[in-house]
Structure 1
Amino acid sequence: MANDKSTNSKFISGSFWMTFGNVASNLLGALYVIPWLNWLRPNDAIANSLFSKGYQWYALFLVISQAGIPGAIAKQVAKYNALGEYSTSKKIFKHGAMFMVALGFLFSVIMFVVAPVLSAGDNRLIPIFRSLSVAILIIPVMSLLRGFTQGFNDMKPSAISLLIEQIFRIIFILGSTYLIIKVFHRSYVLAVVFSTFAAFIGAVFSLLFLLSTILLHKKKYHLNVNERNSRLSTTDLFLEIIKQSVPYIFTDSSITLFFLIDQYTFNRAMLLVKHYSKDQLDFFYALFAANANKLTTIVLSLAVAMAVSLTPLLSSMITKKEVGKIRVQIRKILEVFNFIIFPASLGVMAVAAPLYTIFYRYDRLGILILQISAVVCIVEAMFMVLSAIFQASYFNSVAIKYLLFGIGLKLLFQFPCVYFMREKGAIFATGLALLITCLLMFRELVHTFSLKLNYFMRRSFALLLLSMVMALVTNFAVKLMYHFVDPRDRFLAVIILIVAIILGVIIYGFLVLKTGLANYVFGKKALQKIKKMIFRSGN
């Protein structure tokens, strides 16, 4: 019983730190857009579209260049730590780092060379791709350091490094853009090139922080042990890591692959409906792939945080063959996921009008697309967490199978959805494809682990219902406030958003505490620990 509480505590603590790091990082990543787009006007929509197109391929190259190794290393380090084989963990870390340096260099060169091909005839994208290729030199080894600390169930260094990376990246983006546009009066394309190069600047500072943390805490990470005591040869070690890492390439790039499908099919599908200019298509694409995506990424970061936190814990349980604990842990993961993702996604939908106005400008189509994206975000996040559960439990082929199935559905639905729903069609195609995929994954999860989920389904339905109540009341309050003010006023939008968020948090908090759902999901001790962590992080 004590071990169950300890495991639950580790998951809650790890989720807290990764949620804090991911959400804070993505929030900063959304906030900087306000001055950035203001300085880029009247070319802000086109610049945002170019930035987004560059980052989609960059994200895919990043996943491939890392070869899924950071996630695999977190999983394998947790496995050997559970067996007390710290010398093997050290060997994994050392050889993995050398391998990641080589991969980073290789794929950085490849991305630089193939940039003209990736641009698909748009020469503005070539320098953008090449500026991003520089970051690929060091981000793989930086991600490996994060994976290594996560293998010890220590999520704090990863969370802090995410913040450091984002802060220095944003400083460079805003500084360079201001100088290029406002001081030297140069092209918006050059500003985008420097803004994408900022990924390298942020990565350098994050890498330095992680290296110093690990070197200062050698004992904590068992780096003082002699790796020669490891029972595995270097060859066996690499084969084991590669076997576990390859599936991560697919699942880590899952959402990126969906966006790449949009990037290369959306314009063609829209031209079947009507003849649009290049700038019009860039504007429509930016509405969902850049604008809405940047805001819903904050919600998706919650799922990423949970996925990262659960991998080493489940891997450790699988190693020890603790079948009962695995079932409890999976149920707990899904309950915490629903507790957070339902109100977060529906909350974004409820406050979409002031939220979109603050970051961009008042635009009815943009607000509608953000609302749709917020709902679709639930199934995107669910897919990420279910994939992480299967991978952490060594059912890698299952995760890959459903990813390929989901991509197939996306391709099948893309053109019909865009044809009939136009600008909103690409999001509907993604949502429909992932909804069907998640339902099938959930069915397989229940069958694979013989899960009994009667109480879980009741609580999930209750959480969804309470989240909908919160969203409806909050959205009504937003509409009521907008009845008396100019919806285009950004300052008033900030006030409305703050009032709406406070109202939503109070309503949802009251409902989950009054119904006892918060205690059911987290437990009283875990809730007290979360309060203590929030209090400490605030000081």
Structure 2
Amino acid sequence: MSENQLIRGTMILTASIFISKMLGLIYIFPFTAIVGHDGLALYGYGYTPYTVLLSLATLGVPLAVSKFVSKYNALGDYRTGQRLLKSGLIVMSITGFVAFIALFFLAGPIANQVLDPDSLEGNSVSDAVFTIRMVSVALIIVPIMALIRGYFQGHQSMGPTAISQVIEQIIRIVFILALTYFIIDVLDGELGTAVGFATFGAFVGALGGLAVLLYYWKKRWTGLQKQIEESTVDHQIPLPKMYKELFAYALPISFVGLSIPLYQTVDLLSFNEAMMGAGFSQGIAETYYASFTQASHKLILIPVAVATAMSLTILPTVTSAFINQETERLQRTITQTYQIIFFLTIPAAVGLMVLAEPSYAALFGMDDFVIGSEVLRSYAPVAVAFSIFAVTASLLQGINRQKYAVIALTAGLLFKAIFNGIFISLFEAQGAVLATGIGYLIAITINVWAIGKFASYNYSFIFKRLLLICSFSIVMAIVVAFLSYGFQQLIPLESRWNAMFILVITILSGAIVYMNMSIRSGLAGQILGHRFDFLKKE
């Protein structure tokens, strides 16, 4: 495959990941309008354990299979990759079914841990059990789909993965919104029934994604068989040795990819109980939980998604630079990656902090927006930590030191698990945010140290850049805060439309101020590179 084709494939996959993530962020706004914060909390009770079990069932398979197949294809051995696919389909079917059974029967214990069976307000235990069991069905087929995607990627064919991801997400979202609206607004049905069927959308969407992959499989069957027949080598690797190599790739990837779901699992098991211990009713505790783990979380993932998508095209360079001992190129790539993350996420996080009230009111409605904006303001800075951890973990993988990312995640997660309940009892909902933020700071500190040590990276230049970006973000925040306050005196936050008007005007103003300073200083052009030469100072 030519370099241009490889770059094109990487860009297609990056675009699909970005589109899928943005769709996954945007649909939560109309969904919340239909089911409210009680429904949003119930949805989180199902999806958080599902995400963890899915990651355990797939074990980082797509990327690991991609690396494995690509390696042996490059050696002229296409049969080994096919053997992995055939045996892997059986393995993924088994792990998926085991994960389904586990989550189905753990639904009761999880629901009873999360909710008070004797509470007369908020969601019921039976609704939570129903929701968890409905989403568990998707575990039967999603691991199989992950394996097929990895196989196509190993053949440097990114289209099947890209298109199936987008189709899966679209079908899932349409199913969720249409069915919840129909059950609640047309049939006047129960909230628990509507949310339970909404989580079943994961299974329906997966069927759509699998159909796309099977279409591509049928379409490319002849070409794949021809490659196998023309194989010049057959390593005849025993299956145990094959899977040992595969899991050596997969386990660190899988564990690091579990970072956010694992943190949310800690909150799932301890948040409501700690909040009720602090004197809140279950209903209010669930409202805070929904705002923290679903609504506010989705908002802060927007800058994370943008920054990660922008940096994906840079990260593969790290591996080749490290292997070829191109020290200068490695340093330059790491610097560029850090700069992009800081340049995009810091002003976005600062903006969310300053505009917490109009942001939450405009996107999630006036119901409970006081609670929601309170959580969002404290949670927004954690977006920067999410982005830095994801990128530093990838950089460590690029220099073959991924075990330090695993150590870092473990250390941060232990802190979260130990102090989450304590912090909530002291600082209420902000305590959970604080425990997450400090946990990620611990993990980032370890990652940053490991990159400095094993990539011989000097952080002095990045600290200067960080100071400049923070300075610009503070100036932007002052302007945005002044405008927001002024508009709210003229147009009080009494309706969603008022909030939306203030939000749009202030975001545009903040973007203009930040980009104007960045362009005039030459910062934007230097960070974003040759593709954005027009941003460079003349």
Is TM (by shorter chain) over 0.5? Answer: yes
Aligned pairs for 1:278-357 (under 5 A) are 278-302=282-306, 304-305=308-309, 313-316=317-320, 324-357=328-361
Moved more, 349-358 or 295-304: 295-304
Letter in 2 for 1:409: F
In structure 1, the residue corresponding to 2:419 is in which secondary structure? helix
**Correspondent of 1:242 among 244, 247, 250:** 247
1:451 is matched with 457
2:122 is matched with none
Q: C-alpha distance in 2, partners of 1:498/1:223?
A: 55
Q: C-alpha distance in 1, partners of 2:501/2:223?
A: 46
CA deviation string 1:262-319 (max 9, x = no partner): 1212233223432x32212212211211221122222332355467656655445555
Unaligned runs of at least 5 residues, structure 2: 114-124
Q: C-alpha distance in 2, partners of 1:308/1:145?
A: 22
1:201 is matched with 204
Q: Cα 1:119–1:416, aligned 2, differ >3 Å: closer, same or farther?
A: closer
Moved more, 413-422 or 97-106: 97-106
Q: Cα 1:50–1:419, aligned 2, differ >3 Å: closer, same or farther?
A: same
Q: Cα 1:113–1:320, aligned 2, differ >3 Å: closer, same or farther?
A: farther
Q: C-alpha distance in 1, partners of 2:155/2:364?
A: 41
Residue 164 of structure 1: CA displacement? Answer: 2.1
- Establish whether residue 437 from structure 1 lines up as the match of residue 443 from structure 2: yes
Unaligned runs of at least 5 residues, structure 1: 531-539
Q: Cα 1:143–1:424, aligned 2, differ >3 Å: closer, same or farther?
A: same
Letter in 1 for 2:203: F
2:53 is matched with 61
Q: Cα 1:509–1:112, aligned 2, differ >3 Å: closer, same or farther?
A: same
Q: Cα 1:441–1:221, aligned 2, differ >3 Å: closer, same or farther?
A: farther
Q: Cα 1:347–1:76, aligned 2, differ >3 Å: closer, same or farther?
A: farther
In structure 1, the residue corresponding to 2:380 is in which secondary structure? helix
Aligned length: 519
Q: C-alpha distance in 1, partners of 2:56/2:214?
A: 23
Letter in 1 for 2:209: S
2:256 is matched with 251
In structure 1, the residue corresponding to 2:458 is in which secondary structure? coil
Q: C-alpha distance in 2, partners of 1:98/1:304?
A: 33
Aligned pairs for 1:84-483 (under 5 A) are 92-93=84-85, 95-120=87-112, 122-150=125-153, 158-213=161-216, 216=219, 224-226=227-229, 229-231=233-235, 233-235=237-239, 236-274=241-279, 276-302=280-306, 304-305=308-309, 313-316=317-320, 324-362=328-366, 363-483=369-489
Q: C-alpha distance in 2, partners of 1:23/1:373?
A: 22
Is the CA contact (8 Å cut-off) linking 1:153 and 1:312 kept in structure 2? no
Q: Cα 1:24–1:346, aligned 2, differ >3 Å: closer, same or farther?
A: farther
Letter in 1 for 2:291: L
Letter in 2 for 1:247: P
Moved more, 199-208 or 342-351: 342-351
Moved more, 458-467 or 306-315: 306-315
Q: C-alpha distance in 1, partners of 2:80/2:339?
A: 34
2:117 is matched with none
Q: Cα 1:36–1:17, aligned 2, differ >3 Å: closer, same or farther?
A: same
Say which structure, 1 or 2, has more relative contact order (CA 8 Å, 6+ apart): 1
Moved more, 118-127 or 440-449: 118-127
Moved more, 434-443 or 21-30: 21-30
- Establish whether residue 520 from structure 1 lines up as the match of residue 522 from structure 2: no
Residue 426 of structure 1: CA displacement? Answer: 0.2
Letter in 2 for 1:302: V
Moved more, 238-247 or 316-325: 316-325
2:20 is matched with 25
Residue 404 of structure 1: CA displacement? Answer: 1.0
CA deviation string 1:78-111 (max 9, x = no partner): 5556767666555555544443333223322322
CA deviation string 1:147-170 (max 9, x = no partner): 445556766654444332222111
2:119 is matched with none
Q: Percent same amino acid at aligned positions?
A: 28
Letter in 2 for 1:137: I
Letter in 1 for 2:245: E
Letter in 2 for 1:399: A
Q: C-alpha distance in 1, partners of 2:418/2:409?
A: 14
Letter in 2 for 1:415: G
Residue 19 of structure 1: CA displacement? Answer: 5.9
Cα RMSD between the aligned structures?
A: 3.3
In structure 2, the residue corresponding to 1:229 is in which secondary structure? coil
Q: C-alpha distance in 1, partners of 2:438/2:424?
A: 13
Q: C-alpha distance in 2, partners of 1:454/1:221?
A: 50
Q: Taking structure 1 as the reference length, what is the TM-score of the superposition?
A: 0.86
Q: Cα 1:117–1:289, aligned 2, differ >3 Å: closer, same or farther?
A: same
